[in-house]
Amino acid sequence: MPRFAANLSMMFSEKPFLERFDAAAQAGFKAVEFLFPYEHPAAEIAARLKAAGLQQVLFNAPPGDWGAGERGTAALPDRKAEFREGFRKALDYAAALSCPRIHVMSGLKPAGMAHDTMTATLAENLAWAAEQAAPAGVKCVIEPINHRDIPGFFLNTTDQAAAIINAVGPEKVGMQFDLYHCQITEGDLVKRVEKHLPLIAHMQVADNPGRNEPGTGEVNWPFVFKKIDELGFRGWIGCEYRPAGETVAGLAWFAPYK
């Protein structure tokens, strides 16, 4: 059966962040993910996880200046030192939260920057990060993101991500396969999951259009989830969606998977 993790950056936003852990557990989730933990001490988040009996399965490395529109630094040649400093901080949090996956965002493509330069920078940074992460049992993941949600993002397709992962080494870095982005950019969800399955270390889901919960848009999710399970994916699927209404009221889709 597919295993779903609540995304606490998007779900349960009716409550303050630290109260969302308990709310997720009460709704039947066994695991959570979120974008960024850095506003809260790691020990505070670890305590919330423990009290709620939850597992932390993913969060993001620092993305540069998010408020100013930055979306990662891993593919930016002039930001290597900052990327490394941020990744070390992420690793400290991962250790405190016993979290096995860190999402590393590549960033926006600067005007005039050569694509190959960015690919090489991303590969070099990922190889470095994997070396730091391996002793802690942590794997870095990269995620292709659609151009509508993040215009100008460097990493867009599952084939592009697969090429970088294969160049660095699939044992070192994995794919964060977000079904929502894939539906917008590429479609053909089941065939693409099948193609990249050996590289996929984490998945995420939202329906399209709207990025709301499964069942609110165009995708036949019971079919897709059944196929993902039959294909043998045993990792976590993060519910990275904005509930259309109140979070718990929109969880009918989740009932068969608790």
Ligand X SMILES: O=C(O)C(=O)[C@H](O)CO
Shortest Å distance, C-beta 1 to Mg ion: 22
**Interface with ligand X includes 35 (CB under 6 A)?**
yes
CB of 15 to ligand X, least distance (A): 21
Query: Rounded to the nearest whole angstrom, what is the least distance from the CB of residue 178 to ligand X in the complex?
Result: 5
Report in angstroms how near the CB of residue 142 gets to ligand X at its nearest. 10
Gap between the Cα atoms of 205 and 177, Å rounded: 9
Spatial neighbors of 145 by CB under 8 A, at least 6 apart, are 71, 153, 155, 156, 178, 181
- Give yes or no for residue 143 binding ligand X (CB under 6 A): yes
143 is catalytic: yes
Q: Which is nearer to ligand X, 8 or 145 (CB)?
A: 145
Instruction: Choose among Mg ion, ligand X, none what residue 35 binds, the Cβ cut-off being 5 to 8 Å by kind.
Output: ligand X
**Phi and psi dihedrals of 141, rounded to 5?**
-130, 150
For 187-194, the CB contacts below 8 A with 24+ separation are: 189/219, 189/224, 190/223, 190/224, 190/227, 190/228, 190/231, 192/158, 193/227, 193/228, 193/231, 193/233, 194/231
Q: For the residues of 63-109, what is the DSSP string, one character each? A: -S-GGGT--B-TT-GGGHHHHHHHHHHHHHHHHHHT--EEE--B-B-
Binding mask 191-230 for ligand X (x = CB under 6 A): -------------x--------------------------
The site map against Mg ion for 165-194 (x = CB under 5 A) is: -------------x----------------
Interface residues toward ligand X, by CB under 6 A: 35, 60, 103, 143, 145, 178, 181, 204, 240
Give the catalytic positions in this structure: 143, 240
